[in-house]
Amino acid sequence: MTTQYDYNRSSSGGGFFVFLLALVIGATALGVFVHNATSGPLGRVASLITGRTTTFDTSVPAVVEKIQRLSRLESVVYSLDTVVEGVHSSPIFPDLLAGDRILLIVHGQSIAGIDLAKLKPEDVRIDETGHGRSIHVTLPASEVFVTNLDNQHSRVYARSTGLLVPVDQNLESDTRAKAQDQLGKAALADGILDTARKNARATVTTLLYSLGFTQVDVV
């Protein structure tokens, strides 16, 4: 007497279980892909699979709101390292006796951009063309948001005081204020506002193309 096992039957049952598990995993993976693929080439593939289309509200109020969400768009940072001198002199005595002089090595930054919260509906024009929808946006004026000295990287390089006068406790703070003012003027002279506007235009242009406009003009 011999005992015979039906290996084919067991193998068939195991194969069905593996197939069912793979089907569940595949369906789960497909669901995750379709849920997360909302833009770009993957989004187009997901649209082909599901038949869905992605639409955006591109009316003027909606576009203005989307741009305003960028708020204070800081688009350029201007850094400067320089030496600034502060001097108090006497009209009568020489500096050796009554002068007070300080040299500061300062590091500072000016940050500029555009406050897009100031954008108004009349600054946006949307037109229908034969090739799609075009949009023209006039941005608010660029501005310097802040100019600050970095006190951790600024220091007194030299200080000399006349023999007949005490140290002026306000000279250093006055010189730092002078340095901050010079930094702001240097940033403006180097075209920080033009650069801020250029960078802001690029950011807003990218946003508008992502909304489906075929022609974008941002000035």
Amino acid at 57: D
Distance of CA 47 to the CA centre of its chain: 31
Q: What are phi and psi of 57, to 5 degrees?
A: -80, 110
**pLDDT averages per 10-residue partition of the chain, 219 residues:** 37 55 60 50 51 60 88 91 86 79 92 95 89 92 94 87 82 90 93 95 94 93
Maximum separation of any 2 CA atoms in the chain, in Å = 132
Position 136 scores a pLDDT of 96
Return the number of other C-beta atoms located less than 10 Å from residue 201's C-beta.
19
pLDDT, position 61: 86
Tokens 């509200």 -> residue: 57
Cβ atoms of 58 and 207 within 8 Å: the answer is no
**Number of C-beta neighbours around residue 122 at 10 A:** 9
